[in-house]
Structure 1
């Protein structure tokens, strides 16, 4: 029988760990192709090579075209691909995740489908944001109320620190340019954060749609995890960049606000090792007592479910039972 053409898929051990990857690369008005195991981005300025094996997420802006071969190398490397529109409208797609085990996914699903366990995890997630507070007895309504008050205070605090005028979070996904500069900056910063969190969540084998606090959206869990870091990353970056423009530290005429925000987010994500932190936090939340082990580089574990315990796949169990005629 003739062999199937194409490159053999990589084994997990051959791929870079999530924590060691470049956070994201943003491209626009370019043709994305493949050269060996690297990506090429061809623009008016020439050809740029991007090491696909070390990339966590590729953000594709307006005017980008991607070849089939480029998508195959991205899929094999476990990188996520996120299409980002000028108006903030996003469509995402990803290759096979780095994880070859469904252990975290099964844990996530079991928590989401159990009301008591889901509430307990929601409390722990909020507790990560409420420093020094005990959330063990709070209802979801109380947790939402405290979070709403906390995030309002964060916005007000950064408004005072930077002297950037702040009213409220007000944006229209269909009219990015219609928002004021601070809301545009927040949308751009959050888009970067969502992209990185989404790529990390998928890479370790979790479902982006099985949210704990958020629900009903295919990115619910991404929003859950991203909310843990907004007050530390996207909100400060947005206010500081807008402040620098308003103070004349950055020339207003030449200021590309979304680009400035993306670059600052990329630098802070790298310097703080946020990707490593996301992986650690997600594992810690889902498996509080099982922080050991590298799930994303684990071996394939293809088994068959049985009420008495999983059994090996790839075996013929035809003689296991006597069928009634």
Structure 2
């Protein structure tokens, strides 16, 4: 450990990191230069290592505590730490997860500067909001077309009902005159996708309720907060504050996190929430499934690529090459 430095922890790009942890009823600590979590059993205490260099987000649920030394190492590795309720979601659905972001003033500047170059112009901000929606739909079409397991479960992107919903969405998004119009159109599409997913999984009486305890709603809540974790990580790495949203309202806390998370929610979280509910999966099984599809479909890469392309759209090619972007 003598030759070890904090910079070594960042050798793995955030978009390539494989792990997102949710812990409950344990103590997170630093021991012998590693971050561990300690669980209590009837007979003894068990230590488990957390590979922080390959971790993006650490969620601390019920009955957890963390030491200052562990937080220092997590910060050095650029791991986002969040406190949440049971199962990875807040105790109250109206409460946001509060992210503890590693404090570093040496994050990149070009993405924030590129973002602010358009953000104060209402017309340009609306155009970017539409870009987010187009990227979201392209990603959904790609995933549902290529994911064999989803096709087996009845999610067919060529289905007439889906094609009609996407065509209406594209038309209304193109004609939207303000962010509120886009949010309304987005809500209508998501409602149509809920209906389609419910029918495909045999849950015909489904109603979206954020505080409901049925499995489909519970898994949707859980999966959405996992997506929020990836989005928060993406924005932190790029140095873009969460307040510079393009859709969810300039005064809403964490609004840009919701914008970025929406890029993957319909494509990945929505179908697997219904599939896992149909199979009566446990919270842990659902979480493992979602984390695996994040990796399989490069969800974090997609977030990074989308946000970076928008932030750098007005940068000249010479500036991009000079900065190695």
TM-score, L = length of structure 1: 0.76
Q: Which runs of 5+ in 1 are unaligned?
A: 1-6, 173-177, 251-255, 299-325
- What is the CA–CA distance in structure 2 between the aligned matches of 1:23 and 1:201, rounded to whole Å? 17
Displacement of 1:115: 0.9
Match of residue 238, structure 1, among 252, 273, 282: 273
**Aligned match of 1:274:** 299
CA 282–27 in structure 1, closer or farther in 2 if over 3 Å, else same: same
Displacement of 1:289: 5.4
Q: Deviations over 1:265-323 (max 9, x none)?
A: 1111111121111111111122225595798x99xxxxxxxxxxxxxxxxxxxxxxxxx
- What is the CA–CA distance in structure 2 between the aligned matches of 1:98 and 1:181, rounded to whole Å? 42
Moved more, 10-19 or 200-209: 10-19
The two structures, once aligned, show a CA RMSD in angstroms of 2.8
Query: Where do 1:275-294 residues align within 5 Å?
Result: 275-288=300-313
Is 1:139 paired with 2:173? Answer: no
Displacement of 1:8: 9.8
**Aligned match of 1:154:** 193
CA 159–136 in structure 1, closer or farther in 2 if over 3 Å, else same: closer
Q: Deviations over 1:63-96 (max 9, x none)?
A: 1110110000011111100111126243221113
Report which of the two has the higher share of helix: 2
**Aligned match of 1:74:** 74
Say if 1:185 and 1:242, in contact at 8 Å, map to a contact too.
yes
Query: Where do 1:25-104 residues align within 5 Å?
Result: 25-44=21-40, 46-86=46-86, 88-89=90-91, 90-96=97-103, 100-104=107-111
Larger radius of gyration: 1
Q: What SS does the corresponding residue of 1:32 show, helix, strand or coil?
A: strand
Moved more, 76-85 or 130-139: 130-139
Moved more, 271-280 or 123-132: 123-132
Query: Where do 1:223-234 residues align within 5 Å?
Result: 223-234=258-269
Say if 2:125 and 2:246, in contact at 8 Å, map to a contact too.
yes
- What is the CA–CA distance in structure 1 between the aligned matches of 2:259 and 2:131, rounded to whole Å? 12
**Aligned match of 1:22:** 18
Query: Where do 1:175-324 residues align within 5 Å?
Result: 178-215=212-249, 216-245=251-280, 256=282, 258-288=283-313
- What is the CA–CA distance in structure 2 between the aligned matches of 1:232 and 1:11, rounded to whole Å? 35
TM-score, L = length of structure 2: 0.76
Is 1:112 paired with 2:119? Answer: yes
CA 211–37 in structure 1, closer or farther in 2 if over 3 Å, else same: farther
- What is the CA–CA distance in structure 1 between the aligned matches of 2:137 and 2:181, rounded to whole Å? 13
Q: Which runs of 5+ in 2 are unaligned?
A: 92-96, 139-166
**Aligned match of 1:170:** 209
Say if 2:35 and 2:49, in contact at 8 Å, map to a contact too.
yes
